[in-house]
């Protein structure tokens, strides 16, 4: 293996493993503590809300006793001083979906599932006790009376101390799992009361001299995988948890579908019952930037460069100013044409000063002249006179005009580069950032660059397009609605791409939409709302509101835009700017009859669809045709 191949391998080993599940033991070595981590260490229940790739799994596993042990450099003497013991549980769809079907009534499935969770939580606590005794060398002493009370909740015989009890629970848990698929062919098992074994065992263990004064944290990841009734079961346990244990729940946005307990009149509300921590809200742009730089330093420091000091992120990923980008996008022939236009239209007294202006200014003045239908020489005179209105128009519209420079041409039509722009494309998603950095770094090394050199703006843009394409192709397999979400993105992406390429005389940077009320929708509103929820949950779209809505599940209280990670692929602005209006019918039509719906949506916004697709969209030419 040559040095370049070795460098590419190292890059993939530290940047390509962006899922917590892939890192295994390296997860804790590469862990970077986010600013909200301390809030999760409090005794109260917490709900951590964030999309796929925002770091929920990493954070919850960092709270586990295995994580705390790794962070403490595996110092056994520190274990006794921990204030809590985190027990990580990832909701396995294969398991929880087994608790449904026509074999039992919903009430019986509810009882079976509650018993299953009792066994799961208790097995986790007893597994920790075994770990604690192994690492501290000190046995956990629990009174016989307390253990007898616990066994009674599960109707278990007395076989001995904690070690044998742990084996009993594990066997009971596995046996119960194995029986679920044949539940209709067997006699009803003995089921425990919801939460009772959990309460009894937590109390028994924490009354021991070794664990006294501590608390158990149940760290439930991927809460959205629970069935609706199962979420209500967990809500009930969370609502009525004792002081011996609490819950830290990780869930995707809109994945917590049920807020009531098994008592329909009883709801979990924040902050009365839990602390709500939205990753997108607590990690604003400045905090995410700091966090992202720490993550990148932890990944790259000493792992890739072979001892060579790497550049800071802002220097590693240089961007373009708007004028410099215009200079790159305008080819030689276009620059020559603009200069010739000025030479034929301007009087001699202003020609020299006008020709000395950057090519981007020449382009913008012609662009504005066409939009206003005025002679370009008039705008040149105003520009040279520092006209405030024209300068303000430049500040507001120049970025939007960049998308029109290379309309219909091959190659890069707009650059997506610079550290700050990469951060903006991620929208607070650390996994997307690692994907962008990995793709750009890999392309840089494979094209002959050195780790200590800046990555070109062209390679950064190509990396951003590749990451957008990759995540679009993966979207179809993320959920049962994946195919429809992919179609929705392809249609919306084409709409916003055409809007971006035709900005003159129109609202600049229209890249959002709002779903407005529609008369006689015949159930389409509900279908559109469900589609939007799935799109947000799976990061096809992001949503935001200027004023906080009363109910975050109300889809009409928000504006929506395609997740910025897809902007380089479709070629439109990733910045939160202006919106168009869509109805439920229009939104669903973009999926069911895309060609006609794209044309109709553009016509409603005074645009005509352009024939030429950007290079990266030609793969989907049949879809748009």
Higher local confidence (pLDDT), 238 or 185: 238
**pLDDT tens digits for 353-404?**
999 999 999 999 999 999 889 999 999 999 999 999 999 999 989 999 999 9
With cut-offs at 50, 70 and 90, classify the pLDDT of residue 546: low
Considering the domain architecture, whether residues 600 and 546 belong to the same structural domain is answered as yes
Considering the domain architecture, whether residues 245 and 374 belong to the same structural domain is answered as no
Q: Kindly state whether residue 289 falls inside one of the protein's structural domains.
A: no
Domain end: 230, 265, 282, which one? 282
Q: Kindly state whether residue 531 falls inside one of the protein's structural domains.
A: yes
Q: What is the pLDDT of residue 548?
A: 44
Higher local confidence (pLDDT), 565 or 522: 565
Considering the domain architecture, whether residues 195 and 129 belong to the same structural domain is answered as yes
Considering the domain architecture, whether residues 268 and 345 belong to the same structural domain is answered as no
Q: Kindly state whether residue 56 falls inside one of the protein's structural domains.
A: yes
* Measured CA distances, 590 to 16, 76, 487, 582, 624 (Å): 34, 59, 8, 11, 11
Considering the domain architecture, whether residues 275 and 350 belong to the same structural domain is answered as no
Q: Kindly state whether residue 187 falls inside one of the protein's structural domains.
A: yes
- How far apart are the C-alpha atoms of 401 and 500, rounded to whole Å? 8
Q: Kindly state whether residue 538 falls inside one of the protein's structural domains.
A: yes
Burial of 5 (0-12, 13-18, 19+ CB in 10 A): exposed
Please state, rounded to an integer, the average pLDDT across all residues of the chain: 88
Considering the domain architecture, whether residues 165 and 64 belong to the same structural domain is answered as yes
Burial of 142 (0-12, 13-18, 19+ CB in 10 A): buried
Considering the domain architecture, whether residues 199 and 250 belong to the same structural domain is answered as yes
Considering the domain architecture, whether residues 349 and 272 belong to the same structural domain is answered as no
Q: Kindly state whether residue 349 falls inside one of the protein's structural domains.
A: yes
User: Average pLDDT in the 420-425 region?
Assistant: 95
Considering the domain architecture, whether residues 205 and 91 belong to the same structural domain is answered as yes
In angstroms, how far is the first alpha carbon of the chain from the final one?
46
Considering the domain architecture, whether residues 83 and 206 belong to the same structural domain is answered as yes
379 phi and psi angles, rounded to 5 deg: -70, -35
Domain end: 349, 370, 404, which one? 404
Q: What is the pLDDT of residue 357?
A: 95
**Cβ atoms 514, 560 nearer than 8 A:** yes
Q: Kindly state whether residue 480 falls inside one of the protein's structural domains.
A: yes
Range of the domain at 150: 36-282
Q: Kindly state whether residue 584 falls inside one of the protein's structural domains.
A: yes
Q: What is the pLDDT of residue 296?
A: 83
Number of domains forming the structure of the chain: 3
Q: Is residue 426 within a helix (H) or strand (E), and if so which, with residue range? A: helix 419-426
**DSSP letters spanning 254-323:** TT----B-SSTT-B--TTTT-EEEEHHHHS-HHHHHHHHHHHHHHHHTTTTSTTPPPPPHHHHS----HH
Classified as helix, coil or strand, 507 is coil
Percent of the chain with pLDDT over 90: 62
Contacts made by residues 264-271, CB under 8 angstroms, sequence distance 24+: 266/236, 266/239, 268/235, 268/238, 268/239, 270/47
Is the link from the previous residue into 271 a cis peptide, with omega within 30 of 0? yes
**Cβ atoms 67, 23 nearer than 8 A:** no
User: Average pLDDT in the 19-45 region?
Assistant: 69
Domain end: 377, 404, 431, which one? 404
With cut-offs at 50, 70 and 90, classify the pLDDT of residue 20: very low
- How far apart are the C-alpha atoms of 455 and 589, rounded to whole Å? 41
What pTM, to 2 d.p., does this model score?
0.85
**pLDDT tens digits for 427-464?**
989 889 999 999 998 999 889 998 889 999 999 999 99
Considering the domain architecture, whether residues 332 and 210 belong to the same structural domain is answered as no
Percent of the chain with pLDDT over 70: 89
Q: What is the pLDDT of residue 549?
A: 44
User: Average pLDDT in the 266-281 region?
Assistant: 90
**Cβ atoms 253, 537 nearer than 8 A:** yes
Q: What is the pLDDT of residue 7?
A: 59
Considering the domain architecture, whether residues 203 and 102 belong to the same structural domain is answered as yes
Q: What is the pLDDT of residue 79?
A: 92
pLDDT of 131 above 90: yes
pLDDT of 24 above 90: no
């Amino acid at each position: 293996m040559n040095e370049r191949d070795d460098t590419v391998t190292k890059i993939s080993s530290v940047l390509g493993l962006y899922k917590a599940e892939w890192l295994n033991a390296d997860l804790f070595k590469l862990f970077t503590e986010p600013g909200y981590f301390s809030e999760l260490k409090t005794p109260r229940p917490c709900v951590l809300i964030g999309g796929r790739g925002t770091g929920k799994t990493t954070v919850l596993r960092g709270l586990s006793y295995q994580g705390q042990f790794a962070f403490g450099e595996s110092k056994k003497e520190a274990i006794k001083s921990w204030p809590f013991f985190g027990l990580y549980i990832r909701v396995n769809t294969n398991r929880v979906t087994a608790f449904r079907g026509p074999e039992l009534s919903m009430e019986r499935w509810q009882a079976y599932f509650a018993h299953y969770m009792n066994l799961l939580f208790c097995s986790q606590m007893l597994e920790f006790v075994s770990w604690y005794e192994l690492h501290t060398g000190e046995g956990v002493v629990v009174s016989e009376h307390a253990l007898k009370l616990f066994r009674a909740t599960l109707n278990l015989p007395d076989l001995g101390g904690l070690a044998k009890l742990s084996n009993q629970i594990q066997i009971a848990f596995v046996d119960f799992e194995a029986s679920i698929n044949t539940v209709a062919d067997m006699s009803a098992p003995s089921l425990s009361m919801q939460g009772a074994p959990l309460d009894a065992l937590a109390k028994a263990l924490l009354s021991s001299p070794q664990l006294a004064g501590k608390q158990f944290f149940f760290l439930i990841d991927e809460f959205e995988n629970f069935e609706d009734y199962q979420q209500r079961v967990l809500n009930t346990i969370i609502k009525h948890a004792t002081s011996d244990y609490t819950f830290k729940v990780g869930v995707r946005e809109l994945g917590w579908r049920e807020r009531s307990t098994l008592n329909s009149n009883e709801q979990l509300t924040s902050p009365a019952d839990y602390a709500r921590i939205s990753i997108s809200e607590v990690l604003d742009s400045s905090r995410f930037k700091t966090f992202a730089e720490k993550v990148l330093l932890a990944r790259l420091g000493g792992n890739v460069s072979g001892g060579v000091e790497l550049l800071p992120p802002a220097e590693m990923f240089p961007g373009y100013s708007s004028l410099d980008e215009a200079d790159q996008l305008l080819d030689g022939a276009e620059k020559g044409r603009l200069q010739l236009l000025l030479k034929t239209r301007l009087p001699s007294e202003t020609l020299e000063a006008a020709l000395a202006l950057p090519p981007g200014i020449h382009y913008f003045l012609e662009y504005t002249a066409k939009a206003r239908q005025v002679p370009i020489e008039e705008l040149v005179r105003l520009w040279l006179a520092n006209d405030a209105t024209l300068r303000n128009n430049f500040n507001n519209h120049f970025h939007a005009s960049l998308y029109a420079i290379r309309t219909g041409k091959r190659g890069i039509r707009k650059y997506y580069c610079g550290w700050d722009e990469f951060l903006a494309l991620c929208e607070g998603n650390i996994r997307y950032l690692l994907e962008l950095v990995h793709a750009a770094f890999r392309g840089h090394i494979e094209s002959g660059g050195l780790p200590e050199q800046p990555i070109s703006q062209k390679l950064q843009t190509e990396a951003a397009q590749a990451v957008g394409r990759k995540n679009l192709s993966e979207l179809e397999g993320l959920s049962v609605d994946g195919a429809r979400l992919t179609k929705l993105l392809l249609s919306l992406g084409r709409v916003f791409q055409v809007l971006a390429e035709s900005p003159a005389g129109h609202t600049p940077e229209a890249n959002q939409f709002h779903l407005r009320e529609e008369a006689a929708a015949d159930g389409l509103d509900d279908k559109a709302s469900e589609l939007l929820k799935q799109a947000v949950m799976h990061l096809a779209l992001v949503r935001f509101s200027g004023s906080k809505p009363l109910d975050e599940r109300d889809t009409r209280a928000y504006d929506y835009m395609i997740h910025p990670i897809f902007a380089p692929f479709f070629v439109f602005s990733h910045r939160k700017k202006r919106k168009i209006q869509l109805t439920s019918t229009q939104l669903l039509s973009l999926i069911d009859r895309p060609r006609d719906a794209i044309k109709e949506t553009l016509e409603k916004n005074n645009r005509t669809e352009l024939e030429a697709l950007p290079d990266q969209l030609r793969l989907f030419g049949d879809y748009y045709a």
